[in-house]
Structure 1
Amino acid sequence: MISATTAKIINILPNKFVTYISKKMVNKYLKKYASINIQGSENLKGIKTPTIFICNHLSNSDGLVLDKALKEIDPTFVAGIKLSNNAITSIGVNVVKTTNIKPNTADKDGLKKIVSLVKQGESLLIFPEGTRSRVSSLIEAKRGVLLIARMTGAPIVPIGLYGTEKLLPINKEGDMSAETFNYADVHINIGKQFEFPKRAKEQDKKEYEDFAIRYIMKKIAELLPENYRGVYK
């Protein structure tokens, strides 16, 4: 991976130049290290847009490989604000379209912008777990995706992704700047679009949310090998 010093220099250049250089660098790394296999591309034909793509989260490289798989739809990625604040991970943010949100907070401004993007016709990609899985399998999802789905009314497309945990492994000390690319086979499995489940009259809020989050996460789990399904087996 590039050094922190180089990343800082790149990020002080004019925006268009930063984007150009960032894309060149990312494409170079992915071409060298990643063998990307995509299944289910036919499920993207004729889908209703805007739509919300949901995917499991294993690595900081997830957005980079998914951006390639979904280039014809070109969704906006919902990303934690700290990715933009780190000199190296901000290189990746420059490559894909992102909208920032503050994790684990009532980020009303971030949420308002997300909903506005969908109402303007933009598709989204959300990692419902809210963070990268340190156990290389599905962990409990956050409830934010339910709020976004309800407020936008957009249909959902599930994606199962694996292999990126080997392509760009999570640094054990939590230092994203120290993460490096490795040779890896990456698999992207795109599922069929579905409608967000509606709340039944007899369901209370907690019962409904428990059902809804499990329902949509099982859609992702079905697209993954069993050892990646984690808490949603």
Structure 2
Amino acid sequence: MTSEQSDESEHEPEPHTPRHAGFKYAVGRMVAGPLARLVYRPRIEGRENVPKTGAVILASNHLSFIDSMAIPVAAPRPVHFLAKASYFEGTGLRGALSREFFTSVGAIPVRRGGGQAALDALDQQRQLLEEGLAVALYPEGTRSTDGRLYKGRTGVAFLALQTGAPVVPVGLIGTDRVMPVGAKTPSLKERVTVRFGEPIDVSTHGPASSGKARRLATDEIMAAIHELSGQELAGVYNEPPAQNPIDKIKRVLPHERR
């Protein structure tokens, strides 16, 4: 195999199954949903704002690992989200349990990263939306470790503008206390609040091909999330420290964060 072929295979999109609410998802939703609501007694506000049918993007702040469980539990319809492919690739009993759990909650495996991997992830989400499904995304890109709300990346707006799907902003409160970054098990002492805002039609900002439209749409989405979550605004992107001089140069050059 040539190096060119190796690079292409490395970025092949992960399989989408299960896209639809199949048996495992249905069982997981029937069991995990009521159990989570019983144990954590989440406060759920605005469920009526989530369209019952058709494509929709749930754009949320991101505070904890359990955010991707809190949203499907609180939503009135099946919700799909992308999860690291490593959660599906483990071996032995632990690997099997991880694979079954993430499959049952509607997770779709994806290779994380920039460049082609990021584009593949966007394409996977676009295909889900074109099938009329609900997709949960985090415009910040990664979890906030200090509780602040960071600037949104434009990938969510791009998908909304490209597919015509409405965006329902979501404000999560308390998930970082239930399961802080680094914790191995969730706390049973804290309660989570999940707030669904009114759907946003971002098409008024222009076409998906317009960088200005993507930026304006992203800012509108983040403003709605901020209103729901009440977090302090960071005013910057949530990015890891630059590892080398090239990364430092890229940070100061004007470019769009996807």
TM-score (norm. length: structure 1):
0.73
Structure 1 gaps of 5+ residues are 1-15, 172-177
Q: Is contact 1:59-1:165 (8 Å) kept?
A: yes
Counterpart Cα distance in 2 of 1:79 and 1:31: 25
Matching residue's letter, 1:75? V
For residues 49 and 28 of structure 1, do their structure 2 counterparts lie closer, same or farther at Cα, with a shift above 3 Å needed? closer
What is the 5 A alignment of 1:1-233?
31-32=38-39, 34-44=40-50, 49-70=54-75, 72-85=76-89, 87=95, 90=99, 92-105=101-114, 106-107=116-117, 108-171=119-182, 179-182=184-187, 183-199=189-205, 205-225=210-230, 228-231=231-234
For residues 21 and 155 of structure 1, do their structure 2 counterparts lie closer, same or farther at Cα, with a shift above 3 Å needed? closer
Counterpart Cα distance in 2 of 1:116 and 1:151: 11
Q: Is contact 1:56-1:160 (8 Å) kept?
A: yes
1:100 offset after TM fit, Å? 3.2
For residues 109 and 210 of structure 1, do their structure 2 counterparts lie closer, same or farther at Cα, with a shift above 3 Å needed? closer
The C-alpha deviation readout for 1:149-201, integer Å capped at 9, x for no partner, is 22211111111011110111111xxxxxx521112110011100110144459
Q: Is contact 1:159-1:189 (8 Å) kept?
A: yes
Counterpart Cα distance in 1 of 2:32 and 2:45: 26
1:43 offset after TM fit, Å? 2.0
Q: How large is the Cα RMSD of the aligned pairs?
A: 3.3
The C-alpha deviation readout for 1:89-126, integer Å capped at 9, x for no partner, is 65652331122333332234433332222111112111
TM-score (norm. length: structure 2):
0.66
Q: Is contact 2:172-2:194 (8 Å) kept?
A: yes
Structure 2 gaps of 5+ residues are 1-22, 236-258
Comparing 150-159 and 209-218, the one that deviates more: 209-218
Counterpart Cα distance in 1 of 2:32 and 2:215: 41
Matching residue's letter, 2:166? P
Q: Is contact 2:28-2:104 (8 Å) kept?
A: no
Matched pairs, number = 205
For residues 104 and 208 of structure 1, do their structure 2 counterparts lie closer, same or farther at Cα, with a shift above 3 Å needed? farther
Identity of aligned residues (%): 24
